[in-house]
């Protein structure tokens, strides 16, 4: 009985496991290329005496076309989302040097709604972009979300 052994490129088990996950990740999804390969294989290996019906072939081609359109739409939507995040960051950078007023929540009630708030103001010194959110840095130390702003004025 042969013994199966594998040689890894790394001495660290965690790195080896990560590489295995990455290698297997692509094989679990069937994309448009896999669908097309299956269709071509099916056409090449069909029984000449009992060929695929026209309706079946048209239905499979329609499925392929739908899959391709959904893939393209997903890619375009992802590009749009990335562009939107960048434009939020750029539009918030226009606030640098402006005096802003915001509301800081001091306490919340049982439902999580603001119970006690305080109005603060300061000058925006920079904009920080982290985890897809733009935060305004006020007077060099206070980070405020743009949704909390009440007013923006020239200093």
Domain locations along the chain: 13-45+52-86, 94-153
Regarding the domain delimited by 94-153, which CATH topology (the fold level of the hierarchy) does it fall under? SH3 type barrels. (2.30.30)
pLDDT digits over 105-141, tens only? 888 888 888 888 889 899 999 888 777 677 889 988 8
What pLDDT, on the 0 to 100 scale, is given for residue 8? 47
Please say whether the beta carbons of 119 and 102 come within 8 A: yes
pTM exceeding 0.95: no
Residue 50 token pair: 């009992």
Distance CA 98, CA 82 (A): 27
Q: How many CA atoms lie within 13 A of 152 on its CB side?
A: 14
* Regions of the chain short of the pLDDT cut 70: 1-17, 20-32, 52, 86-90, 132
């Amino acid at each position: 009985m042969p013994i199966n052994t594998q040689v890894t490129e790394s001495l660290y088990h965690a790195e080896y496991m990560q590489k295995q996950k990455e290698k297997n990740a692509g094989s679990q999804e069937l994309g448009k290329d896999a669908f097309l390969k299956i269709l071509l294989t099916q056409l090449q290996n069909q029984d000449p005496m009992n060929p695929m019906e026209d309706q079946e072939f048209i239905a499979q081609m329609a499925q392929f076309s739908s899959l391709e359109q959904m893939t393209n739409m997903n890619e375009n939507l992802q590009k749009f989302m990335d562009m939107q995040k960048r434009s939020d960051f750029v539009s918030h950078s226009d606030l640098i040097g402006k005096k802003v007023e915001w509301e800081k929540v001091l306490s919340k009630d049982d439902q999580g709604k603001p119970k006690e708030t305080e109005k603060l103001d300061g000058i925006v010194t920079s904009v920080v972009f982290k985890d897809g959110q733009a935060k305004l840095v006020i007077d060099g130390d206070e980070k405020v979300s743009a949704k909390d702003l009440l007013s923006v004025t020239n200093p």
